[in-house]
């Protein structure tokens, strides 16, 4: 069973400054607080992940001998795994968007250069060649 199925079956919710959030709501959050936000304690994936990691640390180290592990450990580990997955996915999306934007900018530069080269080639034609080409296009 994958992490998202486990989360939906377990009705996992994440504590935030805005109350409890579902897994689906996590996808709408920023990675870190927005610099343009007017709210000081804006909920973001980083702060939620830090809270879950802190809760895991407070439980203490996992015992390999104790047959009665802390009941919250598996839920917290699942939450942290989900948060890490969403954070990684969103980071990849950001990198992909940056690459696409850079490629689009480069393409525009190349298209402008091509148009300039074509204009230069036409400008270098003789008057007679220009007239012949215009007549051929009119026919």
Six-digit token string for 77? 């580990």
Task: Specify the pLDDT at position 71.
Answer: 81
Task: Specify the pLDDT at position 118.
Answer: 93
Distance of alpha carbon 30 from alpha carbon 49, whole angstroms: 12
Task: Specify the pLDDT at position 37.
Answer: 60
Q: What residues does each domain of the chain span?
A: 3-138
Helix (H) or strand (E) holding 14, with range, is: strand 14-16
What pTM was computed for the model? 0.76
Nearest to 87 by CA among 48, 42, 56, 37: 48
Task: Specify the pLDDT at position 69.
Answer: 74
User: What are the tens digits of pLDDT across the range 81-130?
Assistant: 999 999 999 999 999 999 999 999 999 999 999 999 999 999 999 999 99
Distance of alpha carbon 3 from alpha carbon 8, whole angstroms: 9
Task: Specify the pLDDT at position 110.
Answer: 97
Q: Are 27 and 106 in contact (CB under 8 A)?
A: no
Distance of alpha carbon 123 from alpha carbon 130, whole angstroms: 9
User: What are the tens digits of pLDDT across the range 27-45?
Assistant: 999 999 877 666 566 799 9
Nearest to 41 by CA among 18, 73, 65: 18
């Amino acid at each position: 069973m994958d992490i998202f199925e486990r989360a939906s079956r377990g009705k996992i919710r994440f504590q935030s400054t805005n109350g409890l959030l579902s897994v689906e709501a996590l996808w709408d959050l920023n990675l870190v607080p927005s610099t343009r936000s007017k709210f000081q304690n804006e909920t973001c994936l980083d702060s939620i992940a830090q809270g879950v990691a802190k809760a895991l640390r407070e439980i203490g180290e996992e015992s390999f001998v104790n047959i009665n592990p802390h009941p919250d450990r598996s839920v917290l580990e699942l939450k942290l795994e989900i948060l890490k997955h969403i954070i990684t996915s969103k980071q990849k999306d950001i990198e992909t968007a940056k690459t696409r934007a850079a490629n689009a900018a480069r393409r525009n530069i190349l298209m402008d250069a091509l148009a300039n080269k074509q204009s230069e080639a036409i400008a270098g034609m003789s008057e007679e060649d220009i007239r012949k080409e215009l007549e051929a296009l009119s026919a």
